[in-house]
Amino acid sequence: MPKVLIADKLSPLAAETFAERGIETETRLGLTPEEVAGVAAEFDGIAVRSATKLSQAALSAGAQGQLKVVGRAGIGVDNIDVEAATAHGIVVMNTPYGNAVTTAEHAVAMMFALARELPAADRSTQAGKWEKSGFMGVELTAKVLGIIGCGNIGSIVADRAQGLKMRVIAYDPFLSPDRAKDLGVQKVELDALLERADFITLHVPLTDQTAGILDAAALARCKAGVRIINCARGGLIVEADLKAALESGQVAGAALDVFEEEPARDNPLFGIPNLICTPHLGAATTEAQEKVAVQIAEQMSDYLSSGAITNAINMPSLSAEDAKRLGPYMKLVEQLGSFAGQLTQSGLKAVVVEYEGAVAKLNCGPLTQAALTGLLRPMLDSVNMVNAPVLARQRDISVSEIKHDRDSAYQTLVRLTVKTERQSRSLAGTLFGDDKPRVVEIKGIQMEAQLSPHMLYLTNEDKPGFIGALGNLLGDAGINIATFHLGRNERGGDAIALIEVDEPISRGLLGKVRKLPHVIQATPLSF
């Protein structure tokens, strides 16, 4: 039975969901990165929120054992070394939708609080003051809301803001014009947003591109008296620059749920009158915590039990239904990749995977990664579907996926072309009876063969007597031939043979095969 470590405080529903799916759990809270590294290899999965750090050392240690997946109950994966996880073939999942509504609502609440100075008014009133004229707020109606990042959360904020009769503009390089139209927002460049917005709210991840997106220069371009909300990630705003802008009045107020350093116990911004702060409460509702706990438990359970992949950071999504449907194709493409990999003797330059017929209508991303895995495994025994693309990039191997909408001689066909420093090699395969992989073409030569544990691949000149000489040699060595597949490009030209044998070909026997007349290449294969 698979076993998952729950390393952070999750809703009890998480453990219940794991148990319902046949997954054993063990809860250990407050582990240091070193302690996580010490136990990671004992578990198939690790579920965390934001407190536990999954370092390179922890993930490396886990990969030495049985660790296959880590799950973040929430959106941000800052506490997980995703690069290290990918390198070690560990799937990283999150729950990008579970707390989207909650976080969006918190941003809207912060906007209301800023507009009407609610926290300060509350403190004043409870202190026995009645400073009615001291808290002159502003309306939200007809104000321009600038949203930086209009994805899952930003789009919900946009919807709520339109309900408040605000005019919404958005900066998001990945927001298509059609999507912007559907959301009812105006897509603008960052400079235009800064110049026009009365309120600015941030909803982007912290990346090299977004770090410090609101710095002194950006804040200076803003409309005087702008109000800023950040419920996304600390580090998006340069805090020292924000402090200066608040003190000068360029920024009329700011509401922050996140900080450059958390927990934020001593921050230079604290104490500024026109600042509202909350302790990273964006996802802190009962509903959200239950949602993300159940979702991550379901996602991890599905992966460990059926191979289904949902909301993975480093893998294409793959539903349980897709996993079942793709199963035979997975075997086919990995065999094709393995075939090519075992024949490759020079540096790989490019890989092209083409899909025709029924397979072209499926989710082919996982198939391409499976083909790449099979191709690289003869050279890299640690490769799997997760880290195969990374390993390919590290070696400057170009990987392309092509789908063809055209008739084929077969109902479904996968073609793998491998380009090396010396040559280009192509092979194609199909499924017989919907689940039986077959090779149907090698180097442009038609051939139908089932791949087996022990095989011998030969290229030779098409000359009389070759098959007899080969058969005699194998027979004299006590090697039984199970199947013998032949093909040629033309009479007297290049020919190939794919031979299934009952036991591996020894090195000594292989040397004798290679010395036979007309042999160009002889390579043992294993599947």
Q: H or E element: which one contains 500?
A: strand 494-501
User: Are domains 100-277 and 452-527 of this chain identical in fold?
Assistant: no
DSSP 8-state symbol, 40: G
Provide the b/e sequence for 139-171 (b: ≥16 CB within 10 Å). ebeebbbbbbbbbbbbbbbbebbeebebbbbbb
pLDDT attached to residue 241: 97
pLDDT attached to residue 381: 63
Q: What 3-state DSSP class applies to 527?
A: coil
pLDDT attached to residue 2: 95
Q: For the structural domain made of 452-527, what CATH number should be given?
A: 3.30.70.260
pLDDT values of the chain reduced to their tens digit, one per residue, 527 residues: 999 999 999 999 999 999 999 999 999 999 999 999 999 999 999 999 988 999 999 999 999 999 999 999 988 888 999 989 988 989 999 998 888 899 999 999 999 999 999 999 999 999 999 998 889 999 999 999 999 999 889 999 999 999 999 999 999 987 888 889 999 999 999 999 999 999 999 998 887 789 999 999 999 999 999 999 999 999 999 999 999 999 999 999 999 999 999 989 999 999 999 999 999 999 889 999 999 999 999 999 999 998 888 888 888 777 777 778 888 898 999 999 999 988 887 678 899 999 998 899 888 988 999 999 899 888 776 677 888 887 888 778 899 999 988 777 788 999 999 998 778 889 999 998 878 899 999 988 888 899 999 999 999 888 888 889 999 999 999 999 999 998 888 887 888 999 999 999 998 999 999 999 989 999 999 88
List the chain domain ranges. Answer: 3-98+287-306, 100-277, 316-451, 452-527
The candidate with the shortest Cα–Cα distance to 44, out of 81, 71, 72, 20, is 71
Q: Widest CA span of the chain, in angstroms?
A: 109
Q: Is the dihedral of CA 158, 162, 163, 166 positive or negative?
A: positive
The residues annotated as belonging to the active site are 233, 262, 280
- Report d(CA 292, CA 283) in Å as an integer: 9
Q: Which amino acid is at 361?
A: K
Q: What 3-state DSSP class applies to 376?
A: helix
Superfamily of domain 316-451 in CATH is D-3-phosphoglycerate dehydrogenase; domain 3 (3.30.1330.90)
Q: Which residues pair with 69 in a beta bridge?
A: 45, 91
Q: Residue 490, exposed/middle/buried by CB under 10 A (0-12, 13-18, 19+)?
A: exposed
pTM above 0.75, yes or no: no
Topology of domain 3-98+287-306 in CATH is Rossmann fold (3.40.50)
- Write the secondary structure of 328-370 as one string of H (helix), E (strand) and C (coil): HHHHHHHHHHHHHHHHCCCCEEEEEEEEEEHHHHCCCHHHHHH
In CATH, the architecture of 100-277 is 3-Layer(aba) Sandwich (3.40)
Provide the b/e sequence for 286-310 (b: ≥16 CB within 10 Å). eebbbbbbbbbbbbbbbbbeebbbb
